[in-house]
A and B are shown apart, each in its own frame.
Chain A
């Protein structure tokens, strides 16, 4: 049984820490939630392994999260897990709560980040394109929360996401980050909507790596891409009804006013 060092309720969510920790500065909080092509979750899972990130806590709620425990190497974990290494704090979950619960979860996560002295928020997800089947060279974009972040992200050699819709958990997360005037960036890489897309995850990880200044090797992720896709099928199937409920298909539509 995992030892609990500290427990705190933020809103309807119980934050559990297994040990005392605080990320080094400048700190980055990365939030990985299931979304198009499971791009963020696949990337985060690889990052945990590659960087040897330590699991230091978790988040649970009987009201807003599914009735799930995750058993990892014999240890019982809540459905939302917290990992850290140096100045990185990673929030990771393979379970997407119902859309009505996402604002509450997002607010609690950002409150927790503020208490941990987080300086920057990084979101990385997929932006579905209908012709993904044909595309070999995936394009990436970014959305900055302020001009300072814009300057740094522009230096990565990718374009800003200038027109379009973003729907789903990251839309809520980013809106809330803006409202709080946080330094935040969202990396968006072209991906499948309905199939797991490790190639897009690798592209996002390369951008994250340069943005936070930590080397994350994606060679193994690309080599194992087919087996990861095979393994992620069940998760993708479970996530699709939630994405449909949020009207994720709006992301395919060009806006009328540009």
Chain B
């Protein structure tokens, strides 16, 4: 038989444990939220080109129910050089441009930069089986169809 003092102590112990768990949960939620906001801000401020001459293409991922369909816009890419690889649930797309494109035609600020290729790493909702993926290219847009099952 425990004394009333022991019971009271047990209640306080449980309350303290619960408080510790709530604090830990809130801290984790706040940390994740801040990290998400930071990532969004970094992503929004990131340019789609690098000074090494690589352009990042625009892309979108659609869920059509039975498949995921990825569209990647690769204007002015040499279609014969388009290379698509799958590493886990990432799709890596690379292609060379038809010829080097210099931004100095657009703006003197970038006069040293010449672009020669595209590269994008697209995170996919699943790790696809590369043998079942279908790829088509039309007018500089690439369509990658990934079956879900």
Cα–Cα, bound, A225→B139 (Å):
10
Contact yes or no, A133 B75, CB < 8 A: no
A54 interfacial contact with B, CB 8 Å = no
Contact yes or no, B71 A227, CB < 8 A: no
Contact yes or no, B55 A236, CB < 8 A: no
Cα–Cα, bound, A196→B47 (Å):
17
Contact yes or no, B76 A226, CB < 8 A: yes
Cα–Cα, bound, A130→B47 (Å):
27
Interface string of B41-60 (1 = CB under 8 A from A): 00010011000000111101
Nearest-CB residue, chain B, relative to A229:
B75
Taking residues whose C-beta sits less than 8 angstroms from the other chain, chain B's interface range is 10 to 19
- Which of B47, B58, B76 contacts A194, CB < 8 Å? B58
Contact yes or no, A227 B47, CB < 8 A: no
Cα–Cα, bound, A130→B76 (Å):
23
Set of chain A residues within 8 Å of B34, measured between Cβ atoms: none
Contact yes or no, A233 B141, CB < 8 A: no
Cα–Cα, bound, A129→B142 (Å):
17
A154 interfacial contact with B, CB 8 Å = no
Among A194, A196, A229, max chain B CB count under 10 A is at: A229
B113 interfacial contact with A, CB 8 Å = no
Contact yes or no, A234 B48, CB < 8 A: yes
Contact yes or no, B143 A230, CB < 8 A: no
A237 interfacial contact with B, CB 8 Å = yes
A247 interfacial contact with B, CB 8 Å = no
A210 interfacial contact with B, CB 8 Å = no
Nearest-CB residue, chain B, relative to A193:
B60
Contact yes or no, A234 B47, CB < 8 A: yes
B22 interfacial contact with A, CB 8 Å = no
B125 interfacial contact with A, CB 8 Å = no
Set of chain B residues within 8 Å of A196, measured between Cβ atoms: 73
- Which of B58, B71, B106, B140 contacts A233, CB < 8 Å? B58
- Which of B57, B58, B101, B141 contacts A133, CB < 8 Å? B141
Given contacts A229-B75, A236-B58, contact A195 B141 (CB under 8 A): yes
Cα–Cα, bound, A231→B102 (Å):
11
- B-contacting residues of A (Cβ < 8 Å)? 130, 133-134, 192, 194-196, 225-231, 233-234, 236-237, 241
- A–B Cβ pairs within 8 angstroms, 24 of them: A130-B62, A133-B138, A195-B58, A195-B73, A195-B141, A196-B73, A225-B75, A226-B75, A226-B76, A226-B140, A228-B75, A229-B73, A229-B140, A230-B55, A230-B75, A230-B76, A233-B56, A233-B57, A233-B58, A233-B73, A234-B48, A236-B58, A237-B58, A241-B44
Which 6 pairs across A and B sit closest by C-beta, in order of nearness? A229-B75, A226-B75, A195-B73, A226-B76, A230-B75, A194-B60
